[in-house]
Amino acid sequence: MSQDKQNGAKSSASPLEADTRDVALSLTRNIGIIAHIDAGKTTTSERILYYSGKVHKIGEVHDGTATMDWMVQEQERGITITSAATTCFWNEHQVNIIDTPGHVDFTVEVERSLRVLDGAVGVFCSVGGVQPQSETVWRQANKYQVPRVAFVNKMDRMGANFEKVLAELKSKLKASAVAVQLPIGAAETFSGVIDLVKMCAYRFSEEDMGSRVEQVEIPSELAAKAEEARAHLIEMVADVDETLLEAYMENSDVSENLIKEAIRRATISNQLVPVLAGSSLKNKGVQPLLDAVTDYLPSPLDIQAVRGLVPKTDADMQREASDFESLTGLVFKMATDKFIGKLAFVRVYAGQLKKGQNIFNPRTKKRERIGRLLRLHANHREEVDVLYAGEIGGMVGQKRFTTGDTICAEADPILLENIEFPEPVISMAIEPKTTADKDTMVAALQDLVEEDPTFHTSINEETGQMIIQGMGELHLEIIKDRILREYKVQANAGKPMVAYRESISSSGEGSFAFDREIGGEPHFANVILHIEPATAGTGNKIIFDVSADQIPVAFRKAVEEGISDALMTGVLGNFAIIDTKIRVIGGEARDNESSEMAFRSAAVMAVRVVVNASHPILLEPIMALEISSPEEHLGDVMGDLNSRRGRVRKIQASNDLQIVHADVPLAEVFGYATTLRSLTKGRASYTMEPQAFEPVPAHMTDTILNR
């Protein structure tokens, strides 16, 4: 269990590459720690920082001292809200870690983190097993094809069951999970782990917070079980790795190195998920987990080259992970810091990002100069002169960037795929307690919108109230708390409301001609549109299918902006319009009379014409509800779900509980916790997450719109 607490070591990169960076790209790991809330992600992160020498005192979530939970709101609630980034060193490797939230309201943080990571550690509670948010984050990792190792944590807890969690990884997550370790004991008898690759055991010293790891013989009473588990491990790996299969066919006693290399190949190709065991709180099993990160998870060189488009031609292109490729990076998060201002979190995929360098944003088509570059450690920052390919860091002072933007060289541009985020499902009215604070509150909300793509704001046109929208009640509670603490604005907030949306149920065409004299000058533009419903959940798409004679290229950006603006306010109840495909199929411009303002205005009105002609419908958010209830209360729970327009998808038995999976409109589950407690005498629990938007029943639409 050697470790390198220096800033990495020179290694087997090309001579040119090794001279330019402290740690070779092949020895770099970009990982995320993902899990259900309370599975022990942040506690695991804290131990990693301690054992790697990054911090000299272990911070604890329950004490509010965790390094990675640096926001006041995180320390008070004992949860992770934002993704905290840090860098540490282990066995000559540089490990860049992002600790992500487990609460469903902050799923955006997981989504944008997984987009830029090369590997992940899935943390699972040895008692709770695969829980609802575990499934959500696992799906998100599947979406980005992120290789994973799994860590069954809390093996010291009463009811800990490693085999049960391993079985749930296979059955619930459909993961090709295989144990590379076995725990020694469980609950109060948990004392260490057996390494099935090396065929040895590890015990962790009590007197120095587990820092000293002792390699010992496998306990005799577990020797047969370990031999059987190792044989199963080799068989599973050989099934997906020809090199190991051939070696195994020649000699069943294959070497440790061959097994380790085969596990690495199978993990990187997403054909295998190695499973480890431990107790982060009790300081057991974290160093072998770090070894697994460096042994089995990919370096930037092991993953596919990043793909994008040439901005002017939309031709496909790719960039290899190399310091000497053309600069390619992705802004995956924006934050506002009271000391340094705007901070853009960036993953550099290729090339080198240098202080003082001019970079290009292909979305805005603007060039910006890099002021300061930072390496990040939770809320502490270290200034650096360059970020190399494969690194994650921060850019200070870039005002025109937003989450999902590409950074590149202007002479060799590339446009990476943006990050998609779900629509908010809940809203509330908010206003400052004093009119003097109104401007400060508007500025605060603008900062928070730039940071969080799932947080939206709008103005109610009828009442003039400011409306904030987010992913759940906790999400909006945190926003309100941040406005008070960070911007010193006291706010009055209304009751949470459903964030409805609008869409269309049929296709339609229409046009609008804007023809006015403003300030003595004529302004003319005509825009013709075709609209049709898009697949649910895909958002809005705008396509230009029109000649330059009808709408000159110079005015197309104004048309696109007008369409986008119009879709923010629907025709039924002023709710945003989603899931449409709009084609610009015609138009007219006049010399010396047409202007950007005229085309933008014509586009806005043309959208309203075609939406009204395409049978607009009201949509409501549907929540995926998972209820764990004793069997004797199941009938009452089911009856209550039916009264809430719930649709039960399945019911599963788990130990002495019945797990009900149902889809229920959000409007029907406000205050559900109180009802469930009453129905089950406090013995049931539930979780829910946004599932989709669906049409509101026709007989309810008028009631909602007339509120």
pLDDT in tens, 492-531: 888 888 999 999 999 999 999 999 999 889 999 999 999 9
Res. 171: pLDDT tops 80 = yes
At 388 the pLDDT is: 94
Report which of 623, 619, 527 is spatially closest to residue 579, judged by C-alpha positions: 619
Torsion angle of C-alpha atoms 681, 685, 689, 691, degrees rounded to 10: -70
Query: 457-487, pLDDT tens digit by residue?
Result: 988 776 778 899 988 887 888 888 888 888 8
**Interatomic CA distance for residues 289 and 48, integer angstroms:** 9
At 544 the pLDDT is: 96
Query: 396-408, pLDDT tens digit by residue?
Result: 877 788 888 999 9
Please state whether beta strands 119-125 and 28-35 pair in parallel, antiparallel, or not at all (unpaired): parallel
Domain ranges across the chain: 25-296, 306-416, 429-493, 501-614, 620-706
Res. 13: pLDDT tops 60 = no
Backbone dihedral angles phi then psi of residue 164, each to the nearest 5 degrees: -65, -45
* Length of the chain measured in residues: 707
Res. 332: pLDDT tops 90 = no
Q: Which of 42-46, 265-269, 540-544, 625-629 has the lowest mean pLDDT?
A: 42-46
Res. 107: pLDDT tops 80 = no
Please state whether beta strands 328-337 and 406-408 pair in parallel, antiparallel, or not at all (unpaired): antiparallel
Res. 79: pLDDT tops 50 = no
Average pLDDT over residues 312-334: 91
Q: 25-296 has which fold? A: Rossmann fold (3.40.50)
**How far does Cα 157 stand from its chain's mean position?**
29
Average pLDDT over residues 436-443: 88
**Interatomic CA distance for residues 411 and 695, integer angstroms:** 47
Q: Give the single-character DSSP code of 409.
A: B
Res. 70: pLDDT tops 60 = no
Across 4-18, 58-72, 206-220, 279-293, which has the greatest mean pLDDT? 279-293
**Interatomic CA distance for residues 351 and 429, integer angstroms:** 46
**Interatomic CA distance for residues 90 and 49, integer angstroms:** 10
Residue 7 amino acid letter: N
Res. 101: pLDDT tops 80 = no
Q: Give the single-character DSSP code of 683.
A: -
| Comparison of pLDDT for 74 and 593, the residue scoring more | 593
Torsion angle of C-alpha atoms 593, 594, 596, 599, degrees rounded to 10: 130
Query: 637-669, pLDDT tens digit by residue?
Result: 999 999 999 999 999 887 778 999 999 999 999
Cβ contact 467:457 at 8 Å:
yes
Percent of the chain topping pLDDT 90? 56
Res. 58: pLDDT tops 80 = no
**Interatomic CA distance for residues 228 and 225, integer angstroms:** 5
At 297 the pLDDT is: 98
CATH number attached to the domain at 306-416: 2.40.30.10
CATH number attached to the domain at 620-706: 3.30.70.240
What pTM was estimated for this model as a whole?
A: 0.73
| Residue 620, beta-bridge partner list | 694
At 216 the pLDDT is: 96
Confidence of residue 341 (pLDDT cuts 50, 70, 90): confident
**Interatomic CA distance for residues 225 and 352, integer angstroms:** 50
Give 228's contacts (C-beta < 8 A, 6+ positions apart): none
Average pLDDT over residues 548-566: 95
Average pLDDT over residues 409-420: 90
- Whether domain 501-614 has CATH 3.30.230.10: the reply is yes
Res. 12: pLDDT tops 90 = no
Cβ contact 509:529 at 8 Å:
yes
Res. 284: pLDDT tops 60 = yes
At 72 the pLDDT is: 42
Please state whether beta strands 372-377 and 392-396 pair in parallel, antiparallel, or not at all (unpaired): antiparallel
At 397 the pLDDT is: 75
At 362 the pLDDT is: 92
**Interatomic CA distance for residues 624 and 663, integer angstroms:** 5
Percent of the chain topping pLDDT 70? 90
**Interatomic CA distance for residues 126 and 120, integer angstroms:** 18
**Interatomic CA distance for residues 555 and 563, integer angstroms:** 13
Q: How many CA atoms lie within 13 A of 580 on its CB side?
A: 33
**Interatomic CA distance for residues 202 and 193, integer angstroms:** 5
Is 250 exposed, middle or buried, given 0-12, 13-18 or 19+ CB atoms closer than 10 A? exposed
At 108 the pLDDT is: 64
Do 620-706 and 429-493 fall under one CATH topology? Answer: yes
Give 500's contacts (C-beta < 8 A, 6+ positions apart): 573, 575, 618, 619, 620, 621, 696, 704
Query: 347-403, pLDDT tens digit by residue?
Result: 999 999 999 999 999 988 889 999 899 887 644 678 899 999 999 888 987 778 888
For residue 466, CA distances in Å to 286, 459, 460, 463 come to 47, 5, 6, 9
At 472 the pLDDT is: 82
Report which of 689, 699, 675 is spatially closest to residue 137, judged by C-alpha positions: 689
Query: 157-168, pLDDT tens digit by residue?
Result: 999 999 999 999
**Interatomic CA distance for residues 86 and 378, integer angstroms:** 6
Res. 47: pLDDT tops 70 = yes
Is 402 exposed, middle or buried, given 0-12, 13-18 or 19+ CB atoms closer than 10 A? middle
At 682 the pLDDT is: 86
Average pLDDT over residues 677-701: 89
Q: How many CA atoms lie within 13 A of 639 on its CB side?
A: 7
Cβ contact 12:26 at 8 Å:
yes
- Whether domain 429-493 has CATH 3.40.50.1700: the reply is no
At 84 the pLDDT is: 53
At 102 the pLDDT is: 44
Task: Map tokens 């539930």 to a residue.
Answer: 686
At 240 the pLDDT is: 95
At 113 the pLDDT is: 80
At 112 the pLDDT is: 73
| Comparison of pLDDT for 96 and 340, the residue scoring more | 96
Written as six digits, the tokens of 317 are 């292109």
Q: Give the single-character DSSP code of 284.
A: B
Check the CA dihedral 239-242-243-247 and report its sign.
positive
Res. 29: pLDDT tops 90 = yes
Is 126 exposed, middle or buried, given 0-12, 13-18 or 19+ CB atoms closer than 10 A? buried
Give 530's contacts (C-beta < 8 A, 6+ positions apart): 507, 508, 509, 582, 583, 585, 610
Across 45-59, 547-561, 675-689, which has the greatest mean pLDDT? 547-561
Using DSSP's 3-state secondary structure scheme, residue 325 falls into: coil
Confidence of residue 65 (pLDDT cuts 50, 70, 90): very low
